[in-house]
Amino acid sequence: METAPGTRGAYPQMKGCVKMEKLKICGGSRLSGTLRVHGAKNAALPILAASLLPGECVLHNCPRLTDVEAACNILAQLGASAHREGESVVVSSGGDCCCCIPDELMRRMRSSIVFLGAIIAKCGWARISLPGGCELGPRPIDLHLAALERLGVEIGEDHGYLDCRVRDRLHGGIVTLPFPSVGATENVMIAAALAEGETVIRNAAREPEISDLADFLNACGGRVRIAQNGDVRIEGVRSLSPCEHRVISDRIAAATYLSCAAITGGELLLTGVCTEHLSAVLPCFEEMGCRIETTAETIRLEAPKRLRPLRCVRTMPYPGFPTDAQSPLMAAACLADGSSMFVENIFESRYKQVPELARMGADIKVEGRIALVHGVRELHSASVHCTDLRGGAAIAVAALAAQGESELLEIGHIDRGYERFEENLASIGAQVRREA
């Protein structure tokens, strides 16, 4: 699928994001050791989209994920090139730009919509289909389109495609989001970077990935400022310049590996993290009885033999508890000594992994956005399907503590967001292997 570490090579064309491979996990091993957390998928993807604008950019700490490969294939379709050099991706985007992304590429990941702002800013028009990826319930792109219209984009629909055009040049404006959408905030930031005048995004998303995108744009000569009240202010410039940028660490991967250690009664040291980005997550592990020690860039977790239950975990926009970390933590709660409650406020269909966890003996009751997890004494092995990216991670967490060997199917979902997942788990004591 990709070149070996330390070599140059273009990303190949992909046939699909879900590979017909499986993981075999024999549960019961206590995980212990050290892991370095890879770069953040949710930061890398919008930065890759934005790299269409400056020319040549080098993105360090860019994770090896199928979603990153999909983004690089989109860049190739648009006339840019992307190749990997070790942990970095080099993007060259000079010259002519194609303004159309075929349906096949858009359907590989839902976040592909973030390319819309970049294409419009570079070319003045874009033609894209609706994006694909994990099915997590309604996530309309109306927020994106309405926000871009405030910058002068005219939008039409033609046989399932969106036609977006600008008569002259994008212009600044005040964009007030009805919900702090991460994707809509990113799209407007990228488009507004080359707009005439100032753009102000009110009720903008505050996730760390937003700040990372701002840092990238500023390194390219952009003028992006995040105000104390959370407003994002972008003063448009005529052009952006090449730069080098290091992608922040993946806070969701960190939360997932902490869940793996917690459910197995293990001890784990995570390095290369930004502890501040996990301020809403770490107290949950402490509530479950885990001992947590932190520095600015490390987290050490020591889990008890049996976890305590969680009173109530409510997913919220940052700085609240992240929805992407809910599924792995729920899996850990399946073996807690008591009942835990989860309230999902972001995505309607974030509980798709529950039937698969039930096949392993979990006791979970779902009512609308609320899930009540009654801890059981043990989980047992089963053949289970990875339902989506974070749901697949949750199933892996459960399998690590289940009695016997579990078979995880459709693990291409996991490959979308976790770099060398089974290798990392094996390095800290898990009995896991990948099979075709």
Residues with catalytic roles: 134
Tokens representing 47 are 């930065």
Residue labelled with tokens 């000079």: 94
Beta carbons within 8 Å of 334's beta carbon, 6+ residues apart: 263, 357, 362, 363, 364, 373, 375, 376, 379, 398
| Burial of 271 per CB tally in 10 Å (0-12, 13-18, 19+) | middle
Beta carbons within 8 Å of 86's beta carbon, 6+ residues apart: 5, 6
- The Cα-based distances of 77 to 98, 194, 251 in angstroms read 7, 22, 30
248 close to 62: Cβ distance less than 8 angstroms: no
Please name every residue paired with 244 in a beta bridge, in sequence order, or none if there are none: 58
CB atoms inside a 10 Å sphere around CB 187: 28
| Rounded CA separation 340/310 (Å) | 5
**How big is the CA angle at 49 (ends 164 and 388), to the nearest 5 degrees?**
100
74 close to 24: Cβ distance less than 8 angstroms: no
| Rounded CA separation 109/345 (Å) | 22
Give the residue among 400, 379, 250 at the shortest CA–CA distance from 324. Answer: 250
